[in-house]
Amino acid sequence: MNIRSILIANRGEIAVRIIRAAKALGLRTVQVYSDADKDSLAVRMADEAIAIGPPVAAKSYLNIDAIMNAARQAKVEAIHPGYGFLSESADFADAVAADKMIFVGPSGDSIRLLGDKISARQVAEKAGVPTVPGSDGRVDNLDSARQIVTQIGYPVMIKAAAGGGGRGIRIASTLEEFERYFPQASAEAASAFGDGSLYIEKMIESARHVEVQILGDGENFVHCFERECSMQRRRQKVWEEAPAFCLPESVRIALCDRAVALARQVKYKGAGTVEFLYDQKTQEFYFIEVNTRIQVEHTITEEITGIDLVQEMIRIAGGAKLSIKQNDLKAEGHAIECRINAEDPAKEFMPWPGLVDKLEIPEGDGIRFDTLLYPGYSIPPFYDSLLGKLIVWGTDRSDCLVRLQRALQDFKISGVPTTIPLHIALANDEDVSKGEFDTKFLEKWLATKFTVASNQNEEVA
Amino acid sequence: MAKIEIKSPIPGTFYRKPSPDSPHFKEDGADVADGDVIGLVEVMKTFHEVPAGVSGKSIKFLIEDSEPIMAGQVIAEVEA
């Protein structure tokens, strides 16, 4: 591998995770930091740390010039972008390459191709990956619309091409409804957006979010099985599981196979995730998007496969061939990740930064906590509220849930409110135990079943 | 005349205007009603409106735009 030193262009728990992986590979680690992060765990752990600007991310973690200056100053061979920030910036990947350094991830062109919704959908179709059935663009009149709907079946969503954020959407369950709503939707779109054009998409009523972890070295491609990430609030994942227990074996195999086909189609290099919607009623799956970076929930895949994905992506970036063959890969047991956020579940998940004075972290077989915390750390208000991820492995899903319940009971973070009480309630919920949930479950459940006293410190309130 | 303090319910960064190019929610000296928004607090990538919570006259801000703020810190005073 032609990497001896690496700069981490990120912060928080993922920076800590990358430093650990890089050190295990014997690399010199260089952490960049904003003024708000000079006391961060990542800065303490790295071999070197370089200040890159003020707390505002636009002037530090999103500032390509500042990061490239730090990389030149530190004379590193490679830059790991983590997730968020510049991790899916094709321009950043290009800038790193232009400076004769290695971007730990796919090329700028790959990021561009897969980052654009329309070109990514085209790639998926070419690779034989099913996409959500629909009109593939605008529909001009009711006649052609009727033809499309007859093909894809009900219910369908009629959406305004110029709309967004859920506005201008109508749902039709019969032809009669469709014929009534279509002109209404067009008129409404014309007056609301100044553009009456519509498009049509099949509505997936009870959808699961499933995703496949892929690895590629540009020539060889494998999947590391899949994850179930339907437990979401405001489109943010809260709790993730691996494998996706909701899938029948034949569907699971097809899903992973299609994800590898997509990776092969673009000669993918690095670690990536292909996201899908899964329709529980019809057992069909549909491509959503590709994330060309390491994901927050990569940990549960590591727990069931025994692969260190962050080390693997650094090795690939360093020119090594994929060290794993598909046939050698086995998924063993079950893993769940709970995102622990500095948010108050009793106050509509209001984020709450502050000083963490005491930390009691659960320990034991199959328990892992990836975090940015240490006792006495003051969480800055400038970045997202993720404090860490509790990851629990068990021999099967029910064993995993039992271990998770115990781990959560032993888990204390004092000084700030956290989402631990939410996870305790979820881990003890009957529907969750049965595995019966979809992407709409959590918000309904929070509104009807979840009550919690504030776990905020009294002196703060 | 009695002064009433308006405090920030949460820590973060305080803004006196809804966007960088907008005018202030309230100018110094303005009167405020209970439900009037007097500023925003940005915390962990989310924005929260701060309502006056009181009615009063002649508001005086004790904190500048874009400054860090603690929970419970006084943002402004009004005359009852």
Mean pLDDT by 10 residues, chain A (461 residues): 95 98 98 97 98 94 98 98 96 98 97 85 92 84 91 90 69 93 86 82 90 98 98 93 97 98 97 96 93 97 98 97 95 98 94 94 97 97 96 98 97 97 97 96 95 57 35
pLDDT at A191: 78
Residue-wise pLDDT tens digits, B2-54: 899 999 988 899 999 988 888 999 999 999 999 999 999 999 988 899 999 99
Give A350 to chain B, closest Cα distance, Å.
Answer: 9
User: CATH classification of A142-202 is 3.90.700.10, yes or no?
Assistant: no
Residue B15 to residue B65: CA distance in whole angstroms: 5
pLDDT at A233: 93
Give B29 to chain A, closest Cα distance, Å.
Answer: 30
Count structural domains, chain B.
Answer: 1
Query: Which of B7, B43, B44, B70 is best to mutate for the A interface (most A CBs within 10 A)?
Result: B44
Is any Cβ of chain B less than 8 angstroms from the Cβ of A375?
no
pLDDT at A168: 67
According to DSSP, residue B64 is labeled -
pLDDT at A453: 67
The answer to whether the bond into A55 is cis (omega within 30° of 0) is no
Note the ipTM here. 0.75
> Is A293 in the active site?
yes
Q: Which residues have CB under 8 Å from A240's CB, separation 6+?
A: A227, A228, A229, A231, A297, A300, A336, A337
Query: CA of B9: which chain A residue's CA is closest?
Result: A461
- What residues of B are in contact with residue A385 (Cβ under 8 Å)? 44-45
Q: Supply the range of the domain harboring residue B60.
A: 3-79
Q: What does the domain layout of chain A look like in residue ranges?
A: 5-104, 142-202, 207-448
- What residues of A are in contact with residue B71 (Cβ under 8 Å)? 460
Q: Under CATH, what is the fold of the domain A207-448?
A: D-amino Acid Aminotransferase; Chain A, domain 1 (3.30.470)
pLDDT at A118: 72
From first CA to last CA, the distance across chain A in angstroms is 53
- What residues of B are in contact with residue A460 (Cβ under 8 Å)? 71
Question: For residues A267 and A221, is the Cβ–Cβ distance under 8 A?
Answer: no
Task: Look at B10 and A350 and tell me if their CB atoms are within 8 Å.
Answer: yes
Catalytic residue among A227, A258, A293, A403: A293
Is B7 in a helix, a strand, or coil? Answer: strand
CATH number of the domain enclosing B49? 2.40.50.100
Residue owning tokens 């990776």: A263
Which strand ranges, in their side-by-side order, compose the sheet holding B74-79?
B3-7, B74-79, B57-61
Give B20 to chain A, closest Cα distance, Å.
Answer: 14
Is B76 in a helix, a strand, or coil? Answer: strand
Is any Cβ of chain B less than 8 angstroms from the Cβ of A342?
yes
Type of residue numbered A285 = F
Query: CA of A385: which chain B residue's CA is closest?
Result: B44
Residue among A82, A75, A36 nearest A59 (CA):
A36
CATH of the structural domain A5-104, one choice from 3.40.50.20, 3.40.50.1820, 1.10.340.70, 1.10.10.10: 3.40.50.20
